[in-house]
Amino acid sequence: MAIIRSRLMTTTTNNKEEILIIKEQDVVPLRNRVRDYGVKVGMSILNQTKLITATSELVRNLLKYGGGGKVVIESVSNGRDNGVRVTFIDNGPGIPDITLAMKDGYSTGKSLGLGLPGTKRLVNEFDIKTELGNGTTVTITKWKNG
């Protein structure tokens, strides 16, 4: 089990929902739902756009490499700020080398290899857990003022 954590803080969840992702047609409704959460916490258009773009990248990975899965959207607060946390859970093959997968330009899918590293740049907190044969879970948090 490989774990990469960055700045995990104690947060409270105010609102939460789970969405199943099994096909490409599930992507646009998911992006819209994540946007709703961003709007609700008062996020700027720029931060909403960053969060939704990150969501779009990670849900593509979940479908393409993880064979589908589920996404949990939460509105969270840490006492100082409110934000949106999105968790992408699949039971796919897992990632053999996270360090490599986090590198700009690394792709086993003949695409640009920007999904994981780019997503990390777009959000405030990024956490990835993966286990070979058991799947991958990526959690991102974007704070309203982050």
Partner 1 sequence: MERIPILKMGDFLLVTIQVDLYDQLAENLESDLINTINKYSSKGVLIDISAVSIIDSFMGRILGNIAVMSKIMDAQTVVVGMQPAVAITLVELGLSLNGVISALNVEKGMDLLRAKMYNGDNQEQTYDDDNE
Ligand X SMILES: Nc1ncnc2c1ncn2[C@@H]1O[C@H](COP(=O)(O)OP(=O)(O)O)[C@@H](O)[C@H]1O
Binding test (CB under 8 A) with partner 1, winner from 21, 41, 43, 52: 52
66 counts as binding Mg ion under rule CB under 5 A:
no
C-beta of residue 64 within 8 angstroms of C-beta of residue 127: no
Cβ 132 to partner 1 shortest distance, Å: 25
121 counts as binding partner 1 under rule CB under 8 A:
yes
Q: Which stretch binds partner 1 (CB under 8 A): 69-77, 86-94, 104-112, 136-144?
A: 104-112
82 counts as binding Mg ion under rule CB under 5 A:
no
38 counts as binding partner 1 under rule CB under 8 A:
no
Distance (Å, whole) CA 11 – CA 75: 10
Q: Where on the chain is the footprint of Mg ion (CB under 5 A)?
A: 61, 115
Q: Where on the chain is the footprint of ligand X (CB under 6 A)?
A: 57, 61-62, 65-66, 90, 92-93, 95, 101, 106-109, 111-117, 136
Q: Where on the chain is the footprint of partner 1 (CB under 8 A)?
A: 24, 27-28, 31-32, 45-46, 48-50, 52-53, 56-57, 60, 104-105, 111-115, 117-119, 121-122
